[in-house]
Amino acid sequence: MKEQDLRDLIAAVKSGHVSRRTFVHRMIGLGLTAPFANRLLAHAGLAQTATQAEYKPTKAGGGGALKMLFWQAPTLLNPHFAVGTKDQEGSRIFYEPLAAWDSGGNLAPVLAAEIPDIENGGVAPDGMSVTWKLKKDVQWHDGNPFTADDVVFTGEYAADPATASTTIGNYRDIKVEKVDPLTVRVHFAKPTPFWASAFVGYFGMIIPKHQFEPYKGANSREAPANLKPVGTGPYRFVEFKPGDLVKGERNASYHLPNRPYFDTIEMKGGGDAVSAARAVLQTGEYDYAWNLQVEDEILLRLENGGNARGRVEIVPGGNIEHIELNSSDPWTEVDGERSSAKAKHPLFSDPAVRRALTLLVDRASVEAHIYGRTGLATGNFINNPPRFASKSTKWELSIDKANQLLDEAGWQRGPDGVRSKDGKRLKLVFQTSINAPRQKTQAIVKQACQKAGIEVELKSVTASVYFSSDVANPDTYSKFYADLQMFTTTMSEPDPGFFMRQFLSSEIASKDNKWQGRNITRWHNEDYDKAYHAAEGELDPVKRAALFIAMNDMVVGDPAAIPVVYRPGVSAMSRQLRATLSGWDNVLWDLKNWYRET
């Protein structure tokens, strides 16, 4: 779809000829995320209607205890030190950002009075700044008022390299200015189309200046509030035992009427995902279980058991399990470095081989036999809610077509059935981490490849080594000393800008950057780089969208990577619990509105 077509379509939505929903569906068909599609409309002056969850309780409190089971428990409660999502979730009970991403990928105001946009003057037309109006009469748990100073301080705290905050990436390139006690302006160094990265969602939790001011910088770890959070959230801190328990009680002076519903909240950790699912679905000991990385077969059995007390909740997000093709040669050392971008891959330099591989990944079987509801087959690298995706993606399993492609390219079958050309045997090493579903997927790919005359050697590495940044270890995923590899990459923000950096040639992982570059495939495509840089400074969301669609098509068309399944978030909830989850933010983003149906 060309830029002009997009503009026409948006005009049609404006005039009411096309519904928002249809528009979003069409965009998804183009490989665009629903959140992104919504932002297109927002930019064009069509205010997004953030999905307002129905909230029935008519008074705050009285809901008893909310019991949540996190098999990986939070180990610290400072959101700016959070190492994994588990820590962010623990912090999110007590802290809040200015705005959160709802399940549709729309911004919902939390500590902000309204969402800035072009219409209300919040977003500068030149993309150089965004102005946030803060909510009035918000109190920290210790009674102090929440003001612009806290927001400005949070920005400075996180941006200070000596603090060693894990959120520094979202704050180091911005300048935060206090306009008045309830207004802050965020200044960017260059035109920034995606302005909602600081103070929003996962990385945006605001911390109180009066608690953290003496502990900004090198002595950040000594702050008492690191272990006893004081936030603005719906629940007040009671107790914290790292790795075991986070406990909170109702914040009686919460800034929204009739909320929160529960009197106490408990986040219990430890154990494993399967028994966590059991405790919610089968015995009903707990109300909610987080991140159930459990085979769907087991979940189905628990959910549909005779006296099941809970349901499984699947939330779409941007995580994609994909197979990467090494563009460099992993078997030859160049300047003391294997998989150096300077040497082209001997087999993959033939596009026919790469295209043949795309035809040999049996995504339907992977979904049907391995992941079920927890991994949906896809042909796109940027992904969407599951209920939309499968209809419009183009991918197929065709051994015949793959054979035909290879035959035409001159790869001849040898006596053992393995193809070769110019003395090069079509033999590939396929690596991934040790994880039952991944080994099964590897086997499916290997089988199909064999039928097409490609020999595949499977390799699996312990996850703790494979995903480590250990420079001395040859088996890490970023070193990529193999021809193919498979893992899940996560898109945490509902904007592909940061996500798509992983195919930029300037990001190529190499010895020089200690293999910390994000482009692990070592793929180099001038057109892609050009499109990405254009998108970076492109303030017109329509043009920007067209660029990202083009980038997605380049990645999967070439292919640099073969998408296999995208993996939504999986939780279990008691039948009575009413909660809206989001794949673009913490699962607890809307905790204030959680309640139990009686």
Partner 1 sequence: MGRYLLRRLLIAVPSLLGISVVLFAVLALAPGDPFGELASNPNVPPEVGATLRAKFGLDDPIALRYLRWLSAMLHGDWGFSFVSRMDVDTLILQRLPATLFIIGSSQVLALLIALPVGVYSAVRPYSIFDHIANLFAFIGFSLPTFFTGLLFILLFSIYLDWLPFVYRTDIGGSGWHWYWEQLKQSAMPVAVLALLQAASWTRYMRSSVLEVSRLDYVTTARAKGLPERMVLIKHIVRNALIPVVTLVALQMPALFGGAIVTEQIFRIPGIGSLLISSILANDTPVIMAVTFVFACLVILFNLLADVLYGWLDPRIAYR
Query: Measuring CA to CA, which residue among 432, 483, 437, 487 is closest to residue 321?
Result: 487
* Residue 367 binds partner 1 (CB under 8 A): no
227 binds partner 1 (CB under 8 A): yes
Residue 89 makes contact with partner 1 by CB under 8 A? no
- Which residue lies nearer to partner 1 by CB, 398 or 468? 468
Residues 165 to 204 in contact with partner 1, rule: CB under 8 A: 165-166, 168-170, 172, 203
Residues pairing with 562 in the sheet:
323
d(CA 259, CA 235): 10
Q: Is 84 in the site for partner 1 (CB under 8 A)?
A: yes
Contacts of 210 (CB under 8 A, 6+ apart): 140, 144
By CB under 8 A, tell whether 358 contacts partner 1.
no
Q: What is the dihedral of CA 189, 194, 198, 199, to 10 degrees?
A: 140
Residue 19 has which token pair? 């519904």
What mask of x and - would describe binding to partner 1 in positions 424 to 463, judged by CB under 8 A?
Answer: ----------------------------------------
Stretch that binds partner 1, among 67-75, 93-101, 365-373, 378-386 (CB under 8 A): 67-75
> What distances in angstroms separate CA 108 from CA 101, 347, 373, 594, one per listed residue?
6, 49, 28, 16
DSSP code for 366:
I
562 residue type, one letter: I
CA 34 to chain centre: 14
Residues 6+ apart with CB under 8 A from 32: 382, 384, 545, 548, 549
Q: Which is nearer to partner 1, 443 or 471 (CB)?
A: 471
Task: Tell me if 357 sits within 8 A of 539, measured CB to CB.
Answer: no
Q: In terms of CB distance, is 26 or 596 closer to partner 1? A: 596
Smallest separation (angstroms) from partner 1 to the CB of 465 = 5
Under rule CB under 8 A, residue 353 binds partner 1: no
* Residues 135/111, Cβ–Cβ less than 8 Å: yes
Radius of gyration of the chain (CA): 25
Q: Which among 113, 207, 204 is positioned nearest to 153, based on CA atoms?
A: 207
Q: Which two tokens stand for residue 41?
A: 């409309």
81 binds partner 1, rule: CB under 8 A? yes
Residue from 349, 473, 506, 576 touching partner 1 (CB under 8 A): that is: 473
Q: Say whether residue 518 binds partner 1 (CB under 8 A).
A: yes
Interface with partner 1 includes 338 (CB under 8 A)? no
Residue 213 or 470: the one with the smaller Cβ distance to partner 1 is 470
One of 435, 460, 468, 505 touching partner 1 (CB under 8 A)? 468
For residues 433 and 125, what is the distance between their CA atoms, to the nearest angstrom?
Answer: 46
Neighbours of 25 (CB within 10 A): 17
Q: How many other C-beta atoms are found inside a 10 Å radius of the C-beta of residue 207?
A: 27
CB nearer partner 1, residue 19 or residue 516: 516
Binder of partner 1 out of 106, 211, 226, 519 (CB under 8 A): 226
Q: With beta carbons less than 8 A apart as the criterion, state whether 77 and 94 touch.
A: yes
**Pick from 21, 514, 530, 533: which binds partner 1 (CB under 8 A)?**
514
At 61, list the tokens. Answer: 């409190």
- Residue among 7, 178, 187, 247 that touches partner 1 (CB under 8 A): 247
- Angle at which helix 351-359 crosses helix 399-408, to 10 degrees, equals 170
Choosing from 55, 331, 467, 481, the residue that interacts with partner 1 (CB under 8 A) is: 467
Work out whether 512 is an interface residue with partner 1 (CB under 8 A).
no
Among residue numbers 251 through 310, which ones bind partner 1 (CB under 8 A)?
266, 268-272, 275, 278-279, 282-283, 285-286
Stretch that binds partner 1, among 15-23, 72-80, 350-358, 547-555 (CB under 8 A): 72-80
Query: For residue 494, how many other CB atoms are within 10 A of its CB?
Result: 27
- Of 11, 56, 136, 164, the residue at the interface with partner 1 (CB under 8 A) is 164
- Residue 188 to residue 236: CA distance in whole angstroms: 34
Q: Is residue 498 close enough to count as binding partner 1 by CB under 8 A?
A: yes
In this complex, which beta carbon is closest to partner 1, that of residue 412 or of residue 516?
A: 516
Q: Please, which residue, 253 or 489, has the CB nearer to partner 1?
A: 489
What are the Cα distances from residue 310, in Å, to 265, 275, 391, 459, 499? Answer: 19, 14, 29, 38, 34
State which residue, 392 or 488, has the beta carbon closest to partner 1: 488
Amino acid letter for position 576: Q
322 is an interface residue for partner 1 by CB under 8 A: no
Q: What is the DSSP letter of 369?
A: I
Q: Which is nearer to partner 1, 217 or 417 (CB)?
A: 217
Among 7, 25, 75, 413, binds partner 1 (CB under 8 A): 75
Contacts with partner 1 by CB under 8 A lie at: 65, 69, 73, 75-76, 78, 81, 83-84, 161-162, 164-166, 168-170, 172, 203, 218, 221, 226-227, 239, 241-245, 247, 266, 268-272, 275, 278-279, 282-283, 285-286, 464-465, 467-470, 473, 477, 489-490, 492, 498, 501-502, 514, 516, 518
